[in-house]
Amino acid sequence: LFSDPNNNTIYKYSPGGGGAFAAGAGADSGDHRTQIEPASPPSSTTASEGAGTLTVFREKSGYEGADIAEYGQPGSNGLTFDREGRLTINQHGNRRVVRLEPDGRLTVLADKFESQRLNSPNDLVYRSDGTLYFTDPPFGLPKFFNDTRKELPFSGVFAVKDGNVKLVTKDFTGPNGIAFSPDEKYLYVGDWDEKKKVVMRYEVQPDGSLKNGRVFFDMTNAPGEDAIDGIKIDKAGNVYVSGPGGLWIISPQGKHLGTIIPPKHPHNFAWGNADGKTLYLCARSGLYRMQLNIEGIRP
């Protein structure tokens, strides 16, 4: 499953080999362009590419308001599954996080913090104890930071469990991608800020709070217009970051291992297929995939 925030739609891609993945879309150095193939034709609503099939999974995935024409990205953004296999959705236009139940109902997990509406939840990840962490920049609002509908005076990272929404950090201008290390000792969060393109790493405490945040990797001076978007982790703890120029791979020690350069810039991505070694890239108007030699961490 992957979101198209601009078209307010969630799509389902079924690869021939089976396996599920959700995206908002071992490594070596060098240009991997020749290893990347389209998983589906771009700009398609129902299409097939090889043994795979692309269909519409959910329309009006993030907003149904009468003023939808004002929004550039009203739809859903980040997607993930909980321990019971239920899809959890960040809705831009509705400014909330919801869970899709087996009977089709939507359960609201978070829509306010201290009586103020969230900005526009962006990306999300579950901890193994069921706590959901999500980022909340204002990029889903029509005028972003200057939108009069914005209620919170900051862009936060939140944790939700048993109906309680807690602010865990507000260190960011535009918190975006978010992921845990394999042992869940660390939480990585990327900042979509053209003046400060950094990935932060926090120590996760037993109660779910964060401490000792530090800059894990700084891409501010790297060539490329894009700031930091999606983040995922493989089972060796390597950090995959949508950053300037492509998909960066960084070791747990903070060493740049290489950059994957797809045909189009990937904004989010996810591990899929039965072996968990296929990386699916949501890259502007297309969905791409590439086979790696290492398994990724999946919901």
Alpha-carbon span 73 to 94, nearest angstrom: 11
* CA 12, 17, 23, 25 torsion-angle sign: negative
Copy the structure tokens of residue 255: 């060493």
> Mean pLDDT over residues 20-26, rounded?
49
Lowest-confidence region among 33-37, 97-101, 292-296? 33-37
| Predicted confidence (pLDDT) per residue in 232-265, tens digit | 999 999 999 999 999 999 999 999 999 999 889 9
Q: Is residue 296 one of the residues assigned to a domain?
A: no
Q: Is residue 188 one of the residues assigned to a domain?
A: yes
> Mean pLDDT over residues 84-90, rounded?
98
- Provide the edge-to-edge strand list for the sheet that holds 286-291: 37-40, 286-291, 278-283, 268-272
Q: Is residue 299 one of the residues assigned to a domain?
A: no
Q: Hey, which residues does 108 pair with through a beta bridge? A: 98
Q: Is residue 87 one of the residues assigned to a domain?
A: yes
Alpha-carbon span 138 to 156, nearest angstrom: 10
CB contact set of 22 (below 8 Å; sequence gap of 6+): 1, 2, 79, 80, 81, 87, 270, 299
Q: Is residue 61 one of the residues assigned to a domain?
A: yes
Alpha-carbon span 225 to 81, nearest angstrom: 31
Q: Which residue range is the domain that position 197 belongs to?
A: 2-291
Alpha-carbon span 110 to 226, nearest angstrom: 29
Share of the chain above pLDDT 90, in %: 81
pLDDT of residue 159: 99
Q: Is residue 160 one of the residues assigned to a domain?
A: yes
> Mean pLDDT over residues 102-125, rounded?
98
272, 20 Cβ separation under 8 angstroms? yes
| Predicted confidence (pLDDT) per residue in 31-86, tens digit | 333 245 566 544 333 333 445 788 999 999 999 999 999 999 999 999 999 999 99
Query: What total of structural domains would you count in the chain?
Result: 1
**pLDDT surpassing 90 at residue 131:** yes
Q: Is residue 221 one of the residues assigned to a domain?
A: yes
Give the CATH number for residue 74.
2.120.10.30
Report the SS3 class of residue 33: helix
Q: Is residue 171 one of the residues assigned to a domain?
A: yes
| Predicted confidence (pLDDT) per residue in 33-45, tens digit | 324 556 654 433 3
Confidence of residue 140 (pLDDT cuts 50, 70, 90): very high
